[in-house]
């Protein structure tokens, strides 16, 4: 069985793109990051994928580059068969 991590992060953009909520899903190649709620600029700038098999720690470092304030809005959840 293949399991992947998934969680949400609420934050404010470090680059003046507003605030929002990101949903991050681990993929075989790294992480898929999608804005699920937030300001339009936040949505336009923060939907992207990490494709270098980043660890959770590496992902947190990247998030700190984009977000000046952030908090985990749900604990990481293990999913099987999650469509991404």
Residue 79 maps to a domain: no
Range of the structural domain that residue 48 is part of: 3-73
Residue 80 maps to a domain: no
In angstroms, the CA 50 to CA 27 distance is 9
Residue 83 maps to a domain: no
Residue 45 maps to a domain: yes
Residue 32 maps to a domain: yes
Residue 56 maps to a domain: yes
pLDDT digits 0-9 by tens, 66-82:
999 999 876 444 444 43
What's the Cα-to-Cα distance from 63 to each of 2, 5, 57, 77, 82, rounded to whole Å? 25, 16, 10, 19, 22
Per the confidence metrics, is the pTM higher than 0.75?
A: yes
Residue 81 maps to a domain: no
Counted domains in the chain: 1
Binned average pLDDT, 10 residues per bin, the chain of 84 residues: 76 94 95 95 94 93 94 59 37
Residue 84 maps to a domain: no
In angstroms, the CA 67 to CA 27 distance is 22
């Amino acid at each position: 069985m293949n399991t992947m991590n998934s969680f949400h992060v609420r934050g404010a953009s470090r680059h003046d793109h507003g605030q929002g909520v990101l949903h991050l899903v681990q993929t075989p190649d790294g992480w898929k990051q999608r804005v699920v709620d937030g300001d339009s600029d936040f949505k336009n700038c923060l939907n992207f994928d990490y494709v270098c098999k980043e660890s959770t720690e590496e992902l947190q470092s990247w998030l700190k580059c984009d977000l000046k304030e952030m908090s985990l809005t749900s604990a990481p959840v293990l999913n099987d068969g999650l469509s991404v």
